[in-house]
């Protein structure tokens, strides 16, 4: 299996689809894990950061697994950012997606019925020059309404020096903003680019220690600069939504996991934990 081939068309903008891309604030009087102040920050600024999940030993274990996964991916002809939709094949990634601490954080924002429909590693190797142009996540997806929360798990420490994600606070309430495909010309991992972001305020770095997560709304403007350090910056993103969200393209339903609660009309697939891990399967064949 060549995972480099498991990609989707990032240039698709879904402009012709009728989508509700408005932000609806979270109302939660009895959160499980987040504080009232953190929920208010998510509502008003569109993100929360530095939430603890994994301890040092757990981080080292997953980093070791990711190192093996990335080595195999590069040997198969893929690039560092084409490890997507691995929940069908990877036991450790499946386990992270349904981690109860993570799901508690997500439930505090989305409610009790949660589907994880997407996963991707974002990697900046030292000297690779990669950036992520300013964009809104939901612009890339055929979903309505816009009720996805993106989790960013730091596999390595992430800071400004090695190109951590940056966000423009409060832009998640502005609706779908104009963009072009200038990212294709600036060595960006993603092609869409929103110009003139200085009109929206100053960026805030999402600096994370390995094992911490951030959460951001799917309409929040964010991006990142290149890695100017000798250190790698790797993070795992998981896309969580309420099960009431609908995909307007059936191809986008098929890799999802109903993590908590119910999906009353079975709109989403519910991918089981892989019986054998992808890397273990490869090792057994060699």
**pLDDT digit string, tens, across residues 65-84:** 999 999 998 888 888 888 88
Provide the β-strand partners of residue 236.
121, 153
* Domain presence at residue 42: yes
Q: State the pLDDT at residue 13.
A: 61
- 135 contacts 179 by C-beta, under 8 angstroms: yes
pLDDT band for position 7 (cuts 50, 70, 90): very low
* Domain presence at residue 15: no
Residue range of the domain that includes 212? 33-285
Q: Give the rounded distance of the alpha carbon of 176 from its chain centre.
A: 19
pLDDT band for position 286 (cuts 50, 70, 90): low
* Domain presence at residue 127: yes
Mean pLDDT of the chain: 92
Global pTM reads 0.94
Spatial separation of the C-alpha atoms in residues 166 and 7, rounded to whole Å: 24
CA separation (Å) from 20 to 59, 70, 145, 255?
A: 37, 36, 5, 23
The better pLDDT of the pair 87, 183 is held by 87
Q: State the pLDDT at residue 81.
A: 83
- Determine the average pLDDT of the residues in 123-141: 94
Instruction: Give the total number of structural domains in the chain.
Output: 1
* Domain presence at residue 93: yes
Residue 9 clears pLDDT 70, i.e. is over it? no
Residue 27 clears pLDDT 80, i.e. is over it? yes
pLDDT band for position 157 (cuts 50, 70, 90): very high
* Domain presence at residue 16: no
Residue 1 clears pLDDT 60, i.e. is over it? no
- Determine the average pLDDT of the residues in 132-161: 96
- Give the CATH number for residue 127: 2.60.120.620
pLDDT band for position 6 (cuts 50, 70, 90): very low
- Determine the average pLDDT of the residues in 249-266: 94
Give Dmax over CA atoms of the chain in angstroms: 55
Residue 3 clears pLDDT 50, i.e. is over it? no
* Domain presence at residue 44: yes
* Domain presence at residue 100: yes
Q: What is the 3-state secondary structure (H, E, C) of the chain?
A: CCHHHCCCCCCCCCCCCCCCCCCCCCCCCCCCCCCHHHHHHHHHHCEEEEEECCCHHHHHHHHHHHHHHHHHHHHCCCCCCCCECHHHCCHHHHHHHCCHHHHHHHHHHHCCCEEEEEEEEEEECCCCCCEEEEEEHHHHCCEECCCEEEEEEECCCECCCCCCCEECCCHHHCCCCCCECHHHHCCECCCCECCCHHHHCCCEECCECCCEEEEEECCCEEEECCCCCCCCEEEEEEEEEECCCEECCHHHCCCCEEEECCCCCCCCCCCCCCCCCHHHHHHHHC
Share of the chain above pLDDT 70, in %: 95
Share of the chain above pLDDT 90, in %: 81
* Domain presence at residue 60: yes
Q: State the pLDDT at residue 2.
A: 41
- Determine the average pLDDT of the residues in 123-132: 94
Per the listing, tokens 């000798």 go with 230
Spatial separation of the C-alpha atoms in residues 270 and 277, rounded to whole Å: 18
Q: Give the rounded distance of the alpha carbon of 257 from its chain centre.
A: 15
Q: State the pLDDT at residue 4.
A: 35
CA separation (Å) from 164 to 39, 57, 157, 214?
A: 23, 22, 9, 11
Provide the β-strand partners of residue 212.
52
pLDDT band for position 50 (cuts 50, 70, 90): very high
- Determine the average pLDDT of the residues in 213-239: 97
β-strand pairing of 166-167 with 204-205: antiparallel
- Determine the average pLDDT of the residues in 59-66: 97
């Amino acid at each position: 299996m060549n995972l480099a081939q498991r990609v989707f068309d990032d240039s698709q903008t879904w402009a012709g689809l009728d989508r509700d891309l408005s932000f609806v604030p979270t109302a939660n009087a009895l959160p499980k894990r987040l504080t009232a102040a953190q929920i208010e920050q998510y509502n008003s600024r569109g993100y929360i950061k530095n939430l603890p999940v994994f301890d040092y030993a757990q981080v080292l274990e997953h980093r070791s697994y990711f190192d093996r996964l990335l080595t195999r991916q590069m040997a198969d002809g893929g690039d560092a950012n084409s490890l997507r939709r691995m929940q069908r094949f990877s036991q450790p990634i499946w386990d992270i997606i349904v981690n109860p601490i993570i799901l508690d954080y997500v439930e505090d924002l989305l409610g009790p019925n949660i589907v994880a429909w997407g996963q991707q590693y974002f990697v900046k190797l030292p000297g690779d020059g990669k950036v992520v142009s300013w964009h809104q996540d939901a612009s890339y997806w055929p979903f309505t309404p816009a009720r996805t929360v993106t989790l960013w798990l730091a596999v390595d420490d992430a800071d400004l020096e090695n190109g951590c994600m940056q966000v423009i606070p409060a832009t998640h309430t502005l609706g779908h903003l104009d963009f072009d495909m200038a990212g294709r010309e600036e060595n960006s991992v993603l092609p869409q680019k929103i110009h003139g972001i200085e009109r929206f305020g100053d960026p805030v770095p999402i600096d994370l220690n390995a094992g911490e997560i951030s959460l951001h709304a799917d309409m929040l403007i964010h991006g990142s600069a290149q890695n100017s350090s000798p250190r790698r910056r790797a993070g795992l993103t998981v896309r969580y939504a309420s099960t009431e969200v609908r995909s307007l393209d059936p191809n986008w339903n098929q890799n999802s996991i109903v993590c908590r609660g119910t999906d009353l009309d079975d709109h989403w697939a519910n991918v089981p934990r892989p019986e054998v891990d992808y890397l273990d399967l490869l090792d057994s064949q060699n």
